[in-house]
């Protein structure tokens, strides 16, 4: 497989993977392009490489920056904004997990807290079924939250430990 063909295949495949993360295909394709780019790219570069509009490019780059997996960089003497992706895949995965936790898991936990103390006859079959399901969802969400927190904490401890070793 030639390099250009391999790059195109990677970009297209990453776009498909993106939907598993909860992001749109174009956003993931832009991320893939920036991941494999040896130097920062500007919006025109991205538009040309992916054959997408300026609005689509700008909106998706902004979203990638909100996910904290793409950064804007300025090149001295050039008025254009350039973009780079975080290249450390472990950091990318951690940032995606943190963002998904914030966007998806935290609201579920909050909702379950709000609805767990319903009024009514707790012996009524419908009320009991609702409470049981809400409790199961809350338990699952809290376990998932705890597991993610453990992963994130392990990553932070690893990073801190690595830094400390470097300066000894």
Instruction: Render pLDDT for 125-159 as a digit per residue (tens, 0 to 9).
Output: 888 888 889 889 999 999 988 888 887 777 665 55
Q: Give dist(CA 116, CA 132) in Å, integer.
A: 10
Contact 31, 70 (CB under 8 A): yes
Please say whether the dihedral angle defined by the alpha carbons of residues 63, 68, 34 and 46, taken in this order, is positive or negative: positive
User: How does pLDDT run across 16-33, given as a tens digit for each residue?
Assistant: 988 777 789 999 999 999
Q: What is the mean pLDDT of residues 39-62?
A: 97
Q: Give dist(CA 162, CA 168) in Å, integer.
A: 10
Whole-model pTM over 0.85: no
E-strand ranges in 6-141 read 41-42, 70-74, 81-85
Taking phi over 0 as left and psi of -120 to 50 as alpha, with beta for the rest, 155 belongs to: alpha
Q: Give the three-state DSSP class for 32.
A: helix
Q: What is the mean pLDDT of residues 78-96?
A: 92
Answer yes or no: is pLDDT of 164 > 60. Answer: no
């Amino acid at each position: 497989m030639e390099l250009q063909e391999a790059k195109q295949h990677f970009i297209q495949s990453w776009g498909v993977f993106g939907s598993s993360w909860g992001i749109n295909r174009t956003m993931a394709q832009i991320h893939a392009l920036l991941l494999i780019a040896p130097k920062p790219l500007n919006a025109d570069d991205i538009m040309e490489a992916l054959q997408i509009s300026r609005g689509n490019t700008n909106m998706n780059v902004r979203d990638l920056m909100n996910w904290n997996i793409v950064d804007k960089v300025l090149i001295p003497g050039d008025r254009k904004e350039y973009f780079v992706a975080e290249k450390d895949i472990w950091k990318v995965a951690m940032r995606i997990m943190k963002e998904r936790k914030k966007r998806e898991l935290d609201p579920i936990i909050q909702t379950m807290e709000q609805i767990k103390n319903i009024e009514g006859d707790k012996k009524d079959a419908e009320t009991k079924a609702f409470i049981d399901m809400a409790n199961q969802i809350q338990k699952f969400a809290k376990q998932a939250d705890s597991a993610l927190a453990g992963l994130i904490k392990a990553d932070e401890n690893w990073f801190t430990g690595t830094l400390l070793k470097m300066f000894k």
